[in-house]
Amino acid sequence: MLRAARRRRNFRIITTAVLAVLAVCASLVAGDQTNPIDGFFYDLSLAATKARPGSGANPVAVIALDRDSLAADEFAPLPRVFLTPIWARILDGLIASDVRTVGFDIVFEYSANRLPGSDGQYDKPFLEALVRARDRVLLARSARAVPAQPFVAAALDTGADIELSPDTDGIYRWMEASLEMADGQSVPTFAAAVLSQARSVAMPSQLLLAPAAPLELIPAYRVVDVLRCLDRDPGALREVFAGKIVLIGTNLPEEDRKPTPDRFMRAPSPQHISA
């Protein structure tokens, strides 16, 4: 029995070593694209390599607009373009909780100030919150959608690009520090801009993702729970978010779901703030 267990252990060690070597070779020859065979072995090697031990601290937290939040009483009556009063409250609460940076992975391309009868004031709370948080907030843009002018003026931010390009097998393994737009203008990617805003390490011009654990281990909290904590126990937000980079976006099944090289790792259960 002991001999069989030793053989199994040796097999795992050898398999992991072989996969690691294949992954290194793939990364050396891949350039900015990885072919499907190299990509498969690279992703498999990440899953076979045991996650490195650490302190358990994570410098990044995600606040997600999910289906439960959209169905909650606070959100259900409002189309998503009319959520800016809620974003204002959350942004103010996060800044008061001493976060490092807040990045909105949402393109605010429509301002409800244009709505007839709004007197151009509907988005005022969010615009004022953006002004207060100018040194710690970032907005997103894409190749086809940019923030509406009121948000750009309030944040002094034309938007960081959220475009990502997959490898030929559809897996997103590479990230760029900047992208060139159709007009020839170079803009920072969202990841590079967030790191710069947070005064963290500079992002290299090109980065191959090599997570040591599933990316879903990054703490994710429902928007509705964060909003309710602001009402019931604002101090809890400081305990959770102080000193962190906070990214706000959606995790709806029909959007923003991209396969990454952690695809063979075991996915954990999502974490939520207790309301």
Residue-wise DSSP of 182-195: TTS-EEEBHHHHHH
CA atoms within 13 A on the CB side of 49: 24
Contact 224, 68 (CB under 8 A): yes
In this prediction, the residues of the chain whose per-residue pLDDT falls under 70 are 1-33, 50-57, 256, 267-275
Q: Are residues 27 and 108 in the same domain?
A: no
Q: List CB contacts of 102: < 8 A, sequence separation 6 or more.
A: 91, 94, 95, 133, 136, 137, 138, 246, 247, 248
The domain total for the chain is 2
Q: Are residues 39 and 66 in the same domain?
A: no
Q: Are residues 89 and 14 in the same domain?
A: no
Which helix H or strand E contains 26, and what residues bound it?
helix 2-30
Contact 177, 204 (CB under 8 A): yes
The alpha-carbon radius of gyration of the chain (Å, integer) is 21
Q: Are residues 46 and 63 in the same domain?
A: no
Instruction: Give pLDDT, residue 54.
Output: 47
Residue 180 placed within a domain:
yes
Domain enclosing residue 164, as ranges: 55-250
**What confidence tens digit (pLDDT) does each residue in 169-184 have?**
999 999 999 998 777 7
Q: Are residues 101 and 200 in the same domain?
A: yes
Q: Are residues 28 and 78 in the same domain?
A: no
Beta partners for 248? 63, 104
Which pTM value belongs to this model? 0.81
Picking from 17, 33, 50, the residue at the C-terminal end of a domain is 50
**What confidence tens digit (pLDDT) does each residue in 34-85 have?**
788 889 999 998 888 765 544 456 899 999 999 999 999 999 999 999 999 9
Beta partners for 1? none
Q: Are residues 123 and 159 in the same domain?
A: yes
Rounded-to-integer distance, Cα 63 and Cα 87, Å: 11
